[in-house]
Every structure is written in structure tokens, then in C-alpha cells.
Copies of this chain bind each other. A is one copy, B any other.
Amino acid sequence: MQAELITIGDEILIGQIVDTNSAWMAVVLNEIGVKVKQISSVSDDEAHILAALADAETRADLVLITGGLGPTKDDITKKTLAKYFDCDEFVTHDESLKVVEQIFAKYNRPLLEVNRQQALVPKVCTPILNQVGTAPGMLFRKGTKLFISMPGVPHEMKHLMTASVLPLIKQQYQLPAIYHQTILTAGLGESFLAEKLTAIEERLPAYIKLAYLPKLGSVRLRLSTTLEASPVLMAELDAFADEIMATVPEACITKGDLPIEKVILDKMAQKGLTLSLAESCTGGEIAHQITQHAGSSKVFVGGGVTYSNSLKSKLLGVKQQTLESFGAVSEETVLEMAEGAVQNFGSDYAVAVSGIAGPDGGSEEKPVGTVWIAVANKHQAKAKRFTFGKHRIQNIERATMAAFTFLFHFLKEQED
């Protein structure tokens, strides 16, 4: 069963927004065994939308369309879909109108005619109630093929998918399982990993694929198969995953598609350990990565984003003399930051980062991209110097990943 995703809206084509919806939809579709064949972004233009629908219809059994359902004039998806399905009659979906009225009453805003029109749908479609927004979803059938239109606002699309669209797809189609097994690695490059895994790759049967998914500082290895899932097949996939982990143990963080910070949080929560942070050049990104996870407060007590030297001294107790003799970006400072965090923030472990994110602030001795990272507990502290590149946002991301990797291995050493 193949699906295609079409996102409608100039904002993606001019780059004003990144299409995060499609990635989310692909994940949940894959989970229920629907393969996404193609993702296309097309403009708010009737002819182009009609052509994209026709193209997708030739290839896919299911076409999911997002975007272009807002109340404003640039939103033309609804009338274009009506045209594609030869329908010129619109009817009010009463349940959707009730939701529109409730939303406007809740926020105490005047209900305008354009808002009421949100509940109008082409007569040939089956409306899908959107309980969290003003634009209903719409289901169109053409022979055995389904076309489903949803709003582009991420939380509305997610609500519709979860509450209505996925159950509907499962009911409609006989779905095979697509089974993935992912291994998160960090610290080794893609080609170096590939070289070490050559022998395993050569032994992989034709129905199992191994993909390398590199991201700054980490590579996810994904084994996948589209064969009908069976206990034997799943055991085979798992066995290959275990073999990979045994071949590059120094790089493997976890089996499963979890981000590294979640692996760390789970491990620390299980042991009842707490963590604090002392961030300089990462500027809160490490804390943000941690706190996006529900339940992180069990482990994470907090941290300081100590951008200025005076805050490094005040919050973390970094000595004035250390800052003067070695500078803020130094082994000495970052160790005092980590030790200070453990002590002042009262946590079992701490991570500290101080570096030059750029684009300014570099010197010959410490060029832009120089980052010191330290990890500490109540008994021990360790620091490492990293040299990243010239780009600020990348340096922040790389330092964040390196900090998690360093902490992961430090925690592991304590176990051994």
C-alpha cells in the first residue's frame, strides 16, 4: 500500500517554513505499514494542485493533502479539490460549525463570516471533524483510492491523523508491516562505520536493507525490511542489529530510534541520578533538548546559561583568577564550571560547555569552533577539547551532541 503526501502552500516553496508535517506523517504511516512513495510540495495555484493530484493518483492508493485550508484568500485547497472531484455544491458541516463557534466563544473573539465558511465542505466529500481547529478534514473517494485533505497547522493535522485518519486507513486497507530496527551511533564517521560493517553488510539477505543516516556528530544505522513481519524475521533483524553493536561497541549508544538525551535521561532516572548544566556557548540548547522530554524533571534539576564571565563566577564559582589566567574557553574554566554546577545546583552529575561558537571571537590559538566540554560528578571531573567548524548554529548543535556523547560514556564508565 503506497501513499503520497502533498503539501500545498507557497510558504514551503519560498522557504518561509520547513515542512515538518511530512516527516511526522511519514513516521506514523510507516508504523502502520503504509509506505510513503513520494512527498511533494506544490504552490497555492489551482492548475499546479490539480496536476499534482493527478500525478499522485497514478502512483498511490492513498493521497494525503495538507495546507491551504485557512480562512484567507490565498487558501484555495478546498475549492480546488471540489473542482478535481467535479463538485460545485458546498454544504455546511454542522458539527464543524459548532466547533468553530465554540473556539471563538472560548477565546471571546467575534465570529466572522469567513470563519463560518470554514465549516462549508464540497458535497461529495465526507467531512472529518477537527476538534482543535476551524477547518475540517475532508475525505474523497475515487474508485478504490482515497484522498484526504487536512489543515497544515501541525497540531491540527496531528490531531486529525491520530483521531480519525489513521484508524480510517487501517480499516480500509490490508496493511503489511514495515519493520525497522535502528541503532544510534555517535563519534564515528559514516564511511569509517561502513568499512567496519562491510562484512556484515555483505551477509545481509536481499530483503534486509541497511541505511546510514548521518547527522552532525552521529550516524543512525537503520535496518529495514518490507517483508511480512514474522517472529523469525524480527529475530533475524534483531540479530543483525546486535552483531553491528558488537562490531562497533565504542560508537553504539543504543538500539532503537531514540535520541541520545532520552537514552541518558532514561538511564539516569532508572538509577535515581540527577543532572545539572553549565552552558556557555551552547546557550541553553542542551537544556532545551533535555526538557523537551516529558518527565525530564525527574533527572534534570536545572542549569545556568552563563554567557558572561561574571555569571560564570557568580553562579558556578569559577575563580576570577582562572578566567584571567586561562580564559573562559579553557580546560581549567570548564572543569570549574562542571564542578561548580554539581556543587551549587546540588546534582549528582553535571555537564559544562564553554567555547567559541562564532562567527566572531576566535584567535589563532583558539579559533572559532574551539569548544571545551567537561563532565563531573561528586568525585571526578573530566574535560575534552573539540574543534568544530566556522558556523555558529552548527557549532552549537555539534557541541550539544558531543556533550551528550561525553556524558553517556562517562556514565557508562561509572557502571563498569
Q: Which residue of B lies closest to A360 (CB)?
A: B294
Cross-chain contact B314 with A308 (CB below 8 angstroms):
no
Whether, in the assembled complex, A300 has its beta carbon less than 8 Å from a beta carbon of chain B, the answer is yes
Whether, in the assembled complex, A180 has its beta carbon less than 8 Å from a beta carbon of chain B, the answer is yes
Whether, in the assembled complex, A324 has its beta carbon less than 8 Å from a beta carbon of chain B, the answer is no
CA distance A292 to B395 in the complex (A): 10
Whether, in the assembled complex, A18 has its beta carbon less than 8 Å from a beta carbon of chain B, the answer is yes
Please give, as numbers and ranges, the residues of chain B lying within 8 Å of A284 by CB-CB distance: 279, 284-288, 290-291, 303, 305
Whether, in the assembled complex, A27 has its beta carbon less than 8 Å from a beta carbon of chain B, the answer is yes
Cross-chain contact B297 with A307 (CB below 8 angstroms):
yes
Please give, as numbers and ranges, the residues of chain B lying within 8 Å of A26 by CB-CB distance: 12-15
Contact with B along A78-102 (1 / 0, CB 8 A): 0000000000000000000000000
Q: Which residue of B lies closest to A285 (CB)?
A: B288
Known contacts A180-B14, A285-B284, A305-B304; A38 and B27 CB within 8 A of each other: no
Cross-chain contact B294 with A290 (CB below 8 angstroms):
no
Cross-chain contact B16 with A19 (CB below 8 angstroms):
no
Whether, in the assembled complex, A181 has its beta carbon less than 8 Å from a beta carbon of chain B, the answer is no
Please give, as numbers and ranges, the residues of chain B lying within 8 Å of A292 by CB-CB distance: 283, 392-393, 396
Identical copies in the complex = 2
Please give, as numbers and ranges, the residues of chain B lying within 8 Å of A42 by CB-CB distance: 37-38
Known contacts A213-B17, A257-B16, A305-B302; A288 and B288 CB within 8 A of each other: yes
Whether, in the assembled complex, A36 has its beta carbon less than 8 Å from a beta carbon of chain B, the answer is yes
Contact with B along A366-386 (1 / 0, CB 8 A): 000000000000000000000
Whether, in the assembled complex, A250 has its beta carbon less than 8 Å from a beta carbon of chain B, the answer is no
Cross-chain contact B14 with A38 (CB below 8 angstroms):
no
Cross-chain contact A71 with B190 (CB below 8 angstroms):
yes
A64 to chain B, nearest CB (A): 13
Cross-chain contact A15 with B37 (CB below 8 angstroms):
no
Cross-chain contact B23 with A70 (CB below 8 angstroms):
no
Cross-chain contact A27 with B39 (CB below 8 angstroms):
no
Cross-chain contact A20 with B17 (CB below 8 angstroms):
no
Please give, as numbers and ranges, the residues of chain B lying within 8 Å of A44 by CB-CB distance: 211
Cross-chain contact A301 with B311 (CB below 8 angstroms):
yes
A164 to chain B, nearest CB (A): 18
Cross-chain contact B15 with A23 (CB below 8 angstroms):
yes
CA distance A393 to B211 in the complex (A): 29
Whether, in the assembled complex, A55 has its beta carbon less than 8 Å from a beta carbon of chain B, the answer is yes
Please give, as numbers and ranges, the residues of chain B lying within 8 Å of A155 by CB-CB distance: 389, 391, 394
Please give, as numbers and ranges, the residues of chain B lying within 8 Å of A191 by CB-CB distance: 70-72, 112, 114-115, 134
Cross-chain contact B302 with A311 (CB below 8 angstroms):
yes
Whether, in the assembled complex, A170 has its beta carbon less than 8 Å from a beta carbon of chain B, the answer is no
Whether, in the assembled complex, A122 has its beta carbon less than 8 Å from a beta carbon of chain B, the answer is no
Cross-chain contact A15 with B24 (CB below 8 angstroms):
yes
Please give, as numbers and ranges, the residues of chain B lying within 8 Å of A210 by CB-CB distance: 73-74
Contact with B along A35-73 (1 / 0, CB 8 A): 111111111100010001001000000000000001111
Report A's interface with B, CB cutoff 8 A: 10-20, 22-28, 30, 35-44, 48, 52, 55, 70-74, 107, 109, 112, 114-115, 132, 134, 153, 155, 178, 180, 182, 189-192, 194-195, 201, 209-215, 220, 222, 224, 257, 277, 279, 281-288, 290-292, 294-297, 300-308, 310-311, 314-315, 344-346, 357-360, 389, 391-394, 396
What are 15 of the A-B contact pairs (CB < 8 Å)? A12-B39, A13-B36, A14-B30, A37-B48, A38-B40, A38-B42, A40-B40, A73-B194, A74-B210, A279-B287, A281-B291, A291-B396, A297-B308, A310-B346, A315-B315
Closest 7 pairs between A and B when the two form their complex, measured CB to CB: A283-B291, A284-B287, A15-B26, A284-B284, A15-B27, A302-B307, A39-B41
Q: Beyond A16-B220, A315-B315: 11 further Cβ-contacts under 8 Å?
A: A13-B38, A14-B26, A16-B257, A18-B23, A38-B41, A70-B191, A74-B211, A115-B191, A134-B191, A283-B300, A287-B287
